[in-house]
Amino acid sequence: MVSPDLGGIEVTSMGFKEAFVRYKESLGGLEGGVLSALERLFRPILSRLQGGVEAPRDGGIVANPDAIADRVTRIITGFSRAEAASTVSQGASEAIRKRILEFVRRRIPVDVQMLWSPKKHWICGTESAVDLAELAALQTLLSVDSAVRRVYQGGVSFRLDVEDIEFEFMEPQSEEVARARETYISGLRRLIKTLRLDEVFTLRRVSECARNEEELRRWRQQMAENHRVLKAYWYESEGCTCAKEEELGSFQELRRLGWKGTIPPEMRRYYLRRLGRFANAPNRKGVDMVLRNLAGILLHYQIGLLRGSGLVDPVKLSFVRPADSAPAELMLGRVDLRFVPRKICSRVNAAAPWSTKGFVYERGNGLLVSFRGWQELAGTRCQFKEGWFTLTGREGAAEVRADFLRKEAG
C-alpha cells in the first residue's frame, strides 16, 4: 500500500537521491536530521538502490568444500543471538554444516528458509504497513549473505514463507484483518523489488505452495483435524506426568498425525505468554489461539514445507526463539537471530519485526532509530507523528512507515 497523500513536510536526500521522508505534521525543522539518521543506519541496504545486489551465482570451483563448509557454518551460527549462540549444540551445528556442505559441493547458493508473518501482530489500519523494523530485518539478512560471500561466492538464497493460511485459521477474520494482511504482504514485496533484492529473496505465501485449489482445501481440512486432536490432548493431559500423557488415546492420535513429543507445562506457558496483554479474553479462548497456532505448525511438517526443494534441506533462520522444551530434533539446522543488532536496540531481543514498531526519536542533540514491541507500546502513552520513508528506484517505489516519537510514556 502506498502511503496516503499526507501533505505536511517532505525532505529529499542529498546523498541518496532515491530516498526522502514525508511527515503529516511538521517536526519543527527536524526532518532533515531524520533523513540523515535513516541514511546512516540503513546505508548498506540503501546502496542497493543504486547498484542492486549481486544475484546468487555458481559457487565456483572449491578446492576444499569441507573447509568452506566449516567457515560458512561458523559465519551463520555466529549471527545467533548471544544467549542462543551459547546453546547451539554440537549436533545442531553439525546438522547445519552437513546441509551447507551439500550446497557447496553442488556449487549453488546456500538455501535459507524463514517463516514470516502475513501481517503486523495485533495491529490493523495504517499501522499495518511495513515499517523500519522490516527494513532493519532485511538489512540483517543481507549482512548474513555478504559475510558468506566473502568465503563462498555462491552466497545465500533466502526464501521467506509467509504464513497466510495458518493465520487465517488462527485469527478471527474480518475485512479489516484481510486488508491489513494484504497491506503488509504487498508492502514487503514492493520493498524487496524496489531495493532490487528479488534475486536473493523469494517471498511466497504458503498458500502458493499448493498445486491447486483442491490441495489447498485439504490443507485447511488438515489444520482443522490437527486442532481437534490437539484440543482433546491439551485438556485431557492437564496435570498428567509425561509418562501418563503418552498413554492417553488423544496423545496416540496426535502422534499418528506427526506430532513430536509432548506439550509440557513450560511449553504451554511459553505460547500463552506470547499472547501477552492481548490474551485478556477468557482462558479457553487464549488456549484456542495457541492450539490453532500449533495446528498450523504441525501442518508444515505434514506437507513438507520445511524440506525446501527436496534436494537438500535448507538452513532455517528464525527471529523468534523456539518454544521451551521443544524437541531437540526439530531444532536441527536452525539458527535464531536478532532482527536488529543489540548495539542499535537492546529492547527487542527475541522479537520479530512483525511484532515490533520501528520509529525515530530525539535524544539529546541527536536523532536515533529505535524499536519497541507492540505489546510494550500498548501499555504506554507514547504519541507518534505519522511519517513515511520513501525509496524509489528503477523497479518502482516503496513506502516504509517511519513515525516520529513526539511524546514518551509518562
Residue 121 pLDDT: 87
**Lowest-confidence region among 202-206, 208-212, 238-242, 383-387:** 238-242
Q: Please check the confidence at residue 250 and state whether its pLDDT lies above 60.
A: yes
Compare 36 and 345 and report the one with higher pLDDT: 36
Q: Which residue has the higher pLDDT, 256 or 280?
A: 256
> How confident is residue 371, by pLDDT bands cut at 50, 70 and 90?
very high
Summarize pLDDT for 80-135 with one digit per residue, the tens. 875 445 556 677 789 999 999 999 999 999 999 999 999 998 888 888 999 999 99
**Cα 394–chain centre separation:** 26
Average the pLDDT over each of 54-58, 260-264, 341-345 and give the range with the smallest value: 54-58
pLDDT band at 60 (very low <50, low <70, confident <90, very high): low
Domain ranges across the chain: 9-209+312-407, 219-287
- Walk across the sheet containing 9-12 and list its strands: 9-12, 19-23, 387-393, 396-401
Q: What is the number of other CB atoms lying within 10 angstroms of the CB of residue 362?
A: 18
Question: Stretch 366-371: mean pLDDT, rounded?
Answer: 94
| Average pLDDT value over all residues in the chain | 87
Reply yes or no on whether the pLDDT at 215 is more than 80. yes
Pick 233 or 8 by higher pLDDT.
233
| Contact criterion met (CB below 8 Å) for 190 and 398 | yes
For the chain, give the longest Cα–Cα distance: 68
Question: What does pTM read for this prediction?
Answer: 0.90
Q: What are phi and psi of 310, to 5 degrees?
A: 95, -20
The DSSP H or E segment spanning 111 is strand 110-116
Average pLDDT over residues 236-253: 86
Q: How many residues does the chain have?
A: 410
How many Å apart are CA 273 and CA 61, to the nearest integer?
49
Q: Is the pLDDT of residue 385 over 60?
A: yes
Q: Flag whether pLDDT at 231 surpasses 60.
A: yes
What's the average model confidence in pLDDT over 154-176? Answer: 93
Tell me how far apart the alpha carbons of residues 233 and 248 are, in angstroms, rounded to a whole number. 8
Q: What percent of the chain has pLDDT over 70?
A: 87
Work out the average pLDDT over 362-380.
86
pLDDT digits (tens, 9 = 90+) for 284-333: 888 999 999 999 999 999 999 888 766 789 999 999 988 888 888 888 88
Contacts of residue 307, defined as CB under 8 A and 6 or more positions apart, other chains included, come to 313, 314
pLDDT at position 89: 66
Q: What is the pLDDT of residue 2?
A: 42
Q: Are the C-beta atoms of 188 and 44 separated by less than 8 Å? A: no
